């Protein structure tokens, strides 16, 4: 009997192993070769991919050589050098020179399952359409205008927090602004999601932040098939955080929707989970995954963009002074209202320039779900098209010789006049999948910068190290330290 069970288990193991090998062979070998051949026949070429890891090994090798040849790649002078592509993505620069601006490359089987799940960011077709309709109507411009009071309340909390720090240290305080910017965006999205009485001691945001860092940790093994199922230290940490975040979101949802009445976008997600196409997700997973996606966009992406904006304002006192003069003329030391915010032209130009130089994401990718004709190019089904925003937003042929410089004046006459092609400015994505929270993100950045500039002047601390880092998002590796003075 025991021998029979062992024989059965061994047969099952061999069957599973055969299935895995077959999957890897057909999915990674034959399918990839067919797609690559179709692109090469149209004159699009690139580095030869490896069988399992694609071009990941070569990418890491090129980056290591770059760092070894020039360890002082980031300038620490004021204002800091804004060209980070040559260090973070030297492989793309090398390949674009070798194969042209359009080239092929492969990344193996990268997976962000624990972080993004099956929410709005990753789904397609009917499931995506249902999620988009569920979420987007809460973030239309007219709805965002009604959120101004929430954003202003967050701005008031930010000012009080910074005032206390400056008061405790004297006239000038060295402050690492990262956590303050994230606290600002955290309060906004939490109130919008769960209402004014949302639980503040759940640890949700710290765990989401930890999951983002864990998911963005670079490792050569990330491209291996089935790697995310192995009990590695990194995977076990992601699984633990995923379970804890799931429990927190569902418990918070239960408390905030008790009795079927209340406020907050969570009610819309609950309704969406019970109606419409969910695909493979359960109603609970629908709620959790879309909550995580909203947190990633509204908390982390907007927070990082604001941190970069404060760094650039600190590094360019002339633009800081121009924006402050505009704000004080319109509002004095009072909180701005919607009408006054709409009149802040200089501030809008600054935000547009911040998002050009440091967009929320470094790449926009789209998978062809069917054969697609783009001009003379036929993109085969299954190919992912990557738009490299850092290169697109800094292309001197589109933006002029100062493309790597901070110059908000380029937006004085709008986006259409700022570059040769308005389609070259896509900080929030492009097409039907453009970020639904774009208006909210712009409002948050306007309010944060307006209240900061009206109450403080700031410059870069000598301790600031300008080292952009790319994990999942492009953020300052060591944070942004500013010397903050109360006005």
Instruction: List residues forming the annotated binding site for heme.
Output: 435
Q: Which residues of 344-383 are buried (b: 16+ CB within 10 A; e: fewer)?
A: bebbbbbbbbbbbbbbbbbbbebebeeeeeeeeeebbebb
With a CB cutoff of 8 Å and minimum separation 6, the contacts of 448 are 155, 158, 181, 184, 306
**Of 77, 136, 183, 138, which Cα lies nearest the Cα of 429?**
136
The string of DSSP codes covering 154-173 is HHHHHHHHHHHHHHHH-SEE
Helices 438-455 & 178-194 angle (0-180, nearest 10): 130
Q: Apex CA 167: angle with CA 163 and CA 169, to 5°?
A: 120
Helices 204-216 & 178-194 angle (0-180, nearest 10): 120
Sheet holding 481-486, edge to edge: 172-176, 481-486, 456-460
What is the spatial distance between Cα 272 and Cα 261, in angstroms, rounded to a whole number? Answer: 16
What is the spatial distance between Cα 111 and Cα 222, in angstroms, rounded to a whole number? Answer: 8
The residues that bridge with 175 in the sheet, in sequence order, are 482
Q: Which residues are annotated as a binding site?
A: 435
The answer to whether residues 448 and 306 touch, using CB atoms and an 8 Å cutoff, is: yes
What is the spatial distance between Cα 211 and Cα 242, in angstroms, rounded to a whole number? Answer: 8
Cα distances (angstroms) measured from residue 426 to each of 3, 103, 254, 294, 353: 63, 20, 37, 19, 12
> Tokens in use for 65?
């050589």
Alpha helices (runs of H) in 195-232, residue ranges in sequence order:
204-216
Q: Apex CA 116: angle with CA 113 and CA 121, to 5°?
A: 125
Q: What are phi and psi of 326, to 5 degrees?
A: -65, -45
What is the spatial distance between Cα 38 and Cα 368, in angstroms, rounded to a whole number? Answer: 14
């Amino acid at each position: 009997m025991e021998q029979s069970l062992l024989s059965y288990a061994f047969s099952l193991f061999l069957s599973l192993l055969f299935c895995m090998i077959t999957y890897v062979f057909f999915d990674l070998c034959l399918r990839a070769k067919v797609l690559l051949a179709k692109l090469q026949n149209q004159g699009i070429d690139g580095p030869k991919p490896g069988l399992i890891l694609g071009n990941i090994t070569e990418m890491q090798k090129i980056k290591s050589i770059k760092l070894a040849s020039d360890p002082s790649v980031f300038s620490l002078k004021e204002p800091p050098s804004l060209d980070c592509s040559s260090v973070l993505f030297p492989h793309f620069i090398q390949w674009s020179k070798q194969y042209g601006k359009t080239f092929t490359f492969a990344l193996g089987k990268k997976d962000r399952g624990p972080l993004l799940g099956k929410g709005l960011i990753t789904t397609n077709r009917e499931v995506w359409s249902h999620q988009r309709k569920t979420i987007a109507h809460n973030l239309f411009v007219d709805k965002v205008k009604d959120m101004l009071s929430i954003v202003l309340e967050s701005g008031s909390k930010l000012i009080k927090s910074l005032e206390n720090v400056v008061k405790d240290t004297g006239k000038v305080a060295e402050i690492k602004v990262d956590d303050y910017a994230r606290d600002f965006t955290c309060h906004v999205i939490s109130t919008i999601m769960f209402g004014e009485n949302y639980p503040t001691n759940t640890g949700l945001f710290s765990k989401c932040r930890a999951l983002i860092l864990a998911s963005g940790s670079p490792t050569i093994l990330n491209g291996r098939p089935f790697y995310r199922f192995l009990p590695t230290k990194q995977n076990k940490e992601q699984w633990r955080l995923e379970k804890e975040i799931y429990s927190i979101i569902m418990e918070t949802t239960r408390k905030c929707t008790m009795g079927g009445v209340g406020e907050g976008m969570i009610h819309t997600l609950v309704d969406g989970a019970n109606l419409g196409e969910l695909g493979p997700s359960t109603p609970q997973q629908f709620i959790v995954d879309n909550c995580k996606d909203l947190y990633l966009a509204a908390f982390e992406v907007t927070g990082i963009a604001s941190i970069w904006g404060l760094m650039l304002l600190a590094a360019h006192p002339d633009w800081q002074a121009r924006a402050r003069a505009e704000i004080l003329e319109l509002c004095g030391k009072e909180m701005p209202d919607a009408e006054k915010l709409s009149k802040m032209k200089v501030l809008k130009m600054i935000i547009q320039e911040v998002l050009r130089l440091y967009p929320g994401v470094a790449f926009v990718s789209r998978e062809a779900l069917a054969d697609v004709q783009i001009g003379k190019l036929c993109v085969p089904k299954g190919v992912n098209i990557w738009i490299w925003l850092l290169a697109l937003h800094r292309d001197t042929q589109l933006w002029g010789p100062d493309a790597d410089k901070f110059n908000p004046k380029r937006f004085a006459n709008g986006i259409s006049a700022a570059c040769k092609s308005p389609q070259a400015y896509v900080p929030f994505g492009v097409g039907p999948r453009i970020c639904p929270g774009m208006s909210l993100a712009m409002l948050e950045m306007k309010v944060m910068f307006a209240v900061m500039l009206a109450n403080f002047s700031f410059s870069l601390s000598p301790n600031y190290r300008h080292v952009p880092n790319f994990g999942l998002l492009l953020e300052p590796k060591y944070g942004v330290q500013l010397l903050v003075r109360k006005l």
